[in-house]
Chains A and B, each alone.
Chain A
Amino acid sequence: MTEIAATAAHSMSAAESAAARRLRKRYAAEWRFRAYGVAALIIAALFIVALLSDVVVKSVSAFTQTRVTLDVPVSAETIDPEGKRDPQTLLTADYTALLRDALREKFPTVTSRNDRRALNGLLSSGASEDLQKRVVADPALIGTTVKTTALLSDDADLFVKGRVTAIETEQGTGSATVSGMDGDVTIVSTNKDFADALASVKRSLASQASALLAEADRVADNARSTTGDEKTALDAKIAELRAQVAVLNARFAAAGAPESVDAEEPTTLVKINGGVVRATEISATEIKGTTMVPLTSADAAAAGTWKIETLAVPEASRRVSDQEAVFLSVLSDQGLIAKNFNWSFFSRGDSREPELAGVLGGLVGSLLTMFVTLVLSLPIGVLAAIYLEEFAPKNRWTEFVEVNINNLAAVPSIVFGLLGLAVFLNFFGMPRSAPIVGGLVIALMALPTIIIASRAAIRAVPPSIREAALGVGASHQQAVFHHVLPLAMPGIMTGTIIAMAHSLGETAPLIMIGMVAFVVDIPSGFTQAASVLPVQIFSWADLPEIAFQAKTAAAILVLLVFLFLMNAVAIVLRRRFERRW
């Protein structure tokens, strides 16, 4: 008896422990599954954060623009030589010349053609638009001096924003004497004020030397396996490289010796007595250089009244020359350069000048296209869904149609573009690049998605609703339009908005119908030439100007904001109107 009980107890406990093991296993499996889920979410979140922060960081500089404040004498001779104040004359007059003259006033000593070109190049080609608008609106300004701000060109803008080179500024600690006011001058300081500048030149020499040395070592490596003429040639090359390295190293090692500076080394500027001197030879206490802006006096400058600026990127490696940098830096010292919010990014169309380019053209084009798409695809899609779901007989034909609707949803979008080209442009002769055609093509793409979503929404309405309607004597059509459709509407709207959001980002079908184009004027109608926002992003990303990279990122942000808004509307609609049965 006791034996039996013992065996039973034993087998019980064995069964229990087996069950416990299984249970633990099942818990572990569940825990693992949850961990996978959390890990997947974290990875996805990290990717989104990385993507968004990258876009946001890159886009920052696109949202500000730099302008220079100028007092512009609006001379009647330049603007309106005949004195008739004819609006057409005022519109086409050369306002840029006025701005350039005003800018040159700031640097009266600039006479050489190259320097004048450098100065003119600071202004954007669209700089004169504000002035033009003001004068056209108020011709009484002619003959007076107008205070206006002029847009800077993209390179100047990037320089002011510090994206061309880092600039290090140091106050002079000693008293400095200058040898002259113009031409080649020597500046001697009582302190070792130029030691840092000298060190940065030496550093640059050292890095040039190490690059050459690495090259020599590489060649030597290769030379080991060669013989005869080839070896002699390589050995000669190695010797030449080593000699260059030796020269550079000797210059680097000679601590106190003066060092000459060329375009391959960082630029050192000395601002003293109202002028600017660019160093051509530096030692710890003395600088020889050429004046970029003449000095106003040759007196000795006391400590703290003069400063040294070092531009880290050598002149040869940047698009803003030393001369241009000096102009900008002098203007900015005078407090004439200001950064403000770039409203024109949202009020202008496309442009080849990064500082003038805006998203409005693409935005309006997208809205027009989306409007056409919505007006076409929503009613057609919903009606098709109602017919297929509620009225169509279930036979081979309707099945065939159903299968093909599902297939259409998976057709690559470029194919729809080809269809649009063949049917809308070539057969119907509709205009190229027009939002109406873009809308038609995208509507074809959005239709399957809308039909599928609408059918699902209609099917989700319980049969009792239909039966009740039919039971009180409604016709089938009345039952559908008065009862089923309103209840299915939230689902249909959600599906439609998702289809719209998807089509907002389409570019491929638009290539064929000519909407991948450079359109400056903001489209004013459905048959006007237009581009869309994703196309503008695509073409900006392809342009060489560095400033367009920021613009591209900013345009992506605008597109994302639009998408978020559309999806938010979809969520709100679902929350407000969704019913559960």
Chain B
Amino acid sequence: MKRILLAASVIALAATGAQARDQIRIVGSSTVYPFTTAVAEQFGKTGGKTPIVESTGTGGGMKLFCAGVGVDHPDATNASRAIKKSEFEDCQKNGVTDIIELEIGFDGLTMANSKKGPKFTLTKQQIFQALAKQVPGADGKLVDNPNKSWSDVDKALPNEPILVLGPPPTSGTRDSFVELVMEKGAEKFDSLAQLKKDDAKAFEVVWKSIREDGAYVEAGENDNLIVQKLEADPAAVGIFGFSFLEENSNQIQGANIEGADPTYENIASGTYKVARPLYVYIKKQHIGVVPGLDGFMAEYVSDKAIGEDGYLADKGLVTLPKDLLEKVRAAVTAGTPLTAENVK
């Protein structure tokens, strides 16, 4: 009897699942999560329900976002990279035809070590030489990375063993790091630049492969953990987002990369090159269906959030330059959807 009752109640509950929704649902990148949650909370304070933000990763978020239109599917997704062509097509196929792209700002990737250790001044080429699985040898042929200490890479660098704590391959931060640093660093070698022309696939394998002989330690997705390990080992270098460097500036120092220190001003002005744009994608078809979605969008691009002195800047987001911000705002006000030409 009990069992029958339970089964009945489960089915009854299941039937109520497909009702209308009065709460915005957002999925996606864990890098954008700290910012979107802050906007969600502020939006919730002005009346209406606070949106629910899930941290699923950029790829997982896109999958959920593009699965269809309707209250069963999320209204927006956070992304630490632009939407891919394949994802955009998937969206179109499932009826998600009108997507509004919101570029919200930049996230600087930093390499940092304890203040007790030496200050690093690096170029992308040096980072590639320190971290790639295979590097060009004296004759230009690829050899297994022989560099044991930073001074093996360049004599001006400290004579400390290379020990870099960074994100695992599943992380979006790792993807950005190899694209922004390792690829650019690899291109500096004549032999690899030639390889890029001859065999783009083989070149990709070279810059995407990070050494596995213990010099690069996959330290998990938790950036706080990396910071703690850096304090314990002054010569170790960690890779993480700018906001963690800012919060822990009394204990760690950011490495100068390509002549620029990782500071807020340098990232905003583009002098510090290791930064990636962050996005939020919104389903235009849900505006008017899910209450508050347009209000949420307006809150996100408002001056008090995304502006130079907004609360997102306090949370470590590097805000957009004025002209770009105006463009994003205009797109939001007009509700201009993304077209296939704009997707790479």
Option from B46, B49, B249, B314 in Cβ contact (under 8 Å) with A521: B49
Q: Does B158 contact A (CB under 8 A)?
A: yes
Q: Does A529 contact B (CB under 8 A)?
A: yes
How many A residues are at the interface, by size bracket?
A: 35 or more
Q: Does B223 contact A (CB under 8 A)?
A: yes
Stretch from A169-177, A221-229, A335-343 at the B interface: A221-229
User: B151's closest neighbor in chain A, by CB?
Assistant: A222
- Tell me the count of chain B residues lying within 8 A, CB to CB, of chain A: 58
Say whether, besides A352-B37, A430-B17, A379 and B2 are in contact (CB < 8 Å): yes
Option from A125, A430, A431, A432 in Cβ contact (under 8 Å) with B42: A125
Chain B window 13-27, contacts with chain A (Cβ cutoff 8 Å), 1 for yes, 0 for no: 110111000010101
Chain A residues near B214 (CB, 8 Å)? none
Q: Does B344 contact A (CB under 8 A)?
A: no
Chain A residues near B47 (CB, 8 Å)? 92
Q: Does A433 contact B (CB under 8 A)?
A: yes
Chain A residues near B3 (CB, 8 Å)? 379-380, 383
Chain B residues near A221 (CB, 8 Å)? 151, 159
A519 to B24, CA, bound (A): 11
State whether B159 touches A518 (Cβ < 8 A).
no
State whether B72 touches A237 (Cβ < 8 A).
no
Chain A residues near B243 (CB, 8 Å)? 544
Q: Does B102 contact A (CB under 8 A)?
A: no
B105-121: which have CB < 8 Å to A?
115, 118-119
State whether A516 touches B55 (Cβ < 8 A).
yes
A468-514: which have CB < 8 Å to B?
511, 514
Q: Does B34 contact A (CB under 8 A)?
A: yes
Q: Does A262 contact B (CB under 8 A)?
A: no
User: B46's closest neighbor in chain A, by CB?
Assistant: A92
A74-96: which have CB < 8 Å to B?
92
Chain B residues near A313 (CB, 8 Å)? 250
Option from A215, A226, A440, A527 in Cβ contact (under 8 Å) with B155: A226
Q: Does B164 contact A (CB under 8 A)?
A: no
Option from A121, A317, A319, A518 in Cβ contact (under 8 Å) with B53: A518
Chain A residues near B49 (CB, 8 Å)? 521
Chain B window 148-192, contacts with chain A (Cβ cutoff 8 Å), 1 for yes, 0 for no: 000100011111000000000000000000000000000000000
State whether A440 touches B309 (Cβ < 8 A).
no
State whether B33 touches A521 (Cβ < 8 A).
no
User: B115's closest neighbor in chain A, by CB?
Assistant: A317
State whether A518 touches B33 (Cβ < 8 A).
yes
A375 to B37, CA, bound (A): 33
Nearest-Cβ distance from residue B317 to partner chain A, whole angstroms: 11
Chain B window 38-65, contacts with chain A (Cβ cutoff 8 Å), 1 for yes, 0 for no: 1011101011011011111000000000
Q: Does B222 contact A (CB under 8 A)?
A: yes
Q: Does A463 contact B (CB under 8 A)?
A: no
Q: Does B84 contact A (CB under 8 A)?
A: no
A-B contact pairs, 17 of them (CB 8 A): A218-B151, A222-B155, A223-B155, A317-B115, A375-B6, A380-B6, A430-B13, A432-B72, A433-B54, A517-B52, A518-B55, A520-B44, A541-B224, A542-B221, A543-B34, A544-B243, A544-B244
* 4 smallest beta-carbon distances between A and B, as pairs: A428-B14, A520-B50, A518-B53, A222-B155
